[in-house]
């Protein structure tokens, strides 16, 4: 094992350990904005020991993050506990693809990682649909450049807002309902959320493809990707580790 890669999102953090290009193990945990480096270390040590890995085997670390407080805590962990200078992905990294948007520094680094991995693994043009706290659409042009995309509310985010902003609607499990026409409150909410977001995804993907002037490979990632791929008419691939792979690829370009 040589490299640990982290994708620190607003709701979840995905951790992967790599030997070269091979992902050996991964964990998906809640993102803790207020945890110290020591608290993160204790959890990480427990996770790795439980799967037969040793932290001492980690020789490098690469992070992509949209949560600055968590980024700082993980940096301190690698500095003080493992004596490693972690690589933090930004638009200034050697991405290997052009970034053709109005304000490159405003783009979430996780979206850049998605674009890099999508082009390398699936070719161009490509559309990555990332089901996270927000639902993001990352577009790689036929020429292989990241050209932007779209951002919509996340499925879990919208569901929680529906519960919090209404007096009589309950929290629901995000599972595929048996039918579109719900016969009770639970089914009607699940139908509206799951099939409604499938319609959002398919509608945006088709509009993006129209602007691109042809078909593009559509890859879904994020924790809800397998569920949404079942109900979407446009998603062609599910790649749960696309972001991690993108960070690893960019790290490898910087440290060949």
Residue linked to tokens 């094992």: 1
What would the two tokens of residue 123 be? Answer: 């070719």
Residue 115's nearest CA partner among 144, 151, 153 is: 144
- Identified catalytic residue from 110, 130, 138, 239: 110
* DSSP label at residue 249: H
Contact 26, 245 (CB under 8 A): no
Cβ count near 80 (within 10 Å):
12
> Terminal CA-to-CA distance of the chain, rounded, Å?
16
183: helix, strand or coil:
coil
Contact 107, 91 (CB under 8 A): yes
110 a catalytic residue? yes
From CA 170, how far away is CA 163, in angstroms rounded? 6
Residue 63's nearest CA partner among 22, 100, 31, 104 is: 31
Estimate the crossing angle of helix 109-122 against helix 242-254, to 10 degrees: 90
- Label residue 85 exposed, middle or buried (CB < 10 Å: 0-12, 13-18, 19+): exposed
Active site residues: 110
């Amino acid at each position: 094992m040589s490299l640990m890669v982290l994708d620190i999102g607003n709701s979840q953090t995905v951790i992967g350990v790599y030997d070269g290009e091979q992902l050996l193990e991964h964990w998906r945990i809640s993102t803790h904005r207020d945890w110290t480096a020591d608290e993160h270390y204790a959890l990480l040590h427990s996770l790795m020991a439980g799967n037969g890995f040793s932290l001492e085997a980690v020789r490098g670390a690469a992070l992509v993050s949209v949560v600055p407080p968590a980024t700082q805590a993980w940096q301190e962990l690698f500095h003080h506990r493992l004596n490693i200078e972690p690589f933090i992905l930004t638009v200034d990294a050697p991405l290997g693809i052009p970034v053709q948007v109005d304000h490159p520094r405003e783009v979430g680094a996780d979206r850049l990682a998605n674009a890099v991995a999508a082009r390398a693994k699936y070719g161009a043009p490509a559309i990555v649909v990332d089901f996270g706290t927000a639902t993001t659409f990352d577009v790689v042009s036929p020429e292989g450049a990241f050209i932007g995309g779209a951002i919509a509310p996340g499925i879990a985010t919208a569901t929680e807002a529906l519960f919090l902003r209404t007096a009589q609607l309950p929290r629901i499990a995000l599972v595929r309902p048996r039918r579109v026409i719900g016969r009770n409150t639970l089914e009607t909410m699940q139908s509206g959320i799951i099939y409604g977001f499938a319609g959002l995804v398919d509608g945006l993907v088709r509009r993006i493809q129209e602007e691109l002037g042809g078909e593009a490979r559509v890859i879904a990632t994020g924790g809800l990707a397998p569920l949404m791929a079942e109900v979407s008419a446009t998603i062609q691939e599910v790649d749960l580790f696309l972001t991690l792979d993108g960070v690893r690829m960019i790290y490898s370009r910087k440290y060949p």
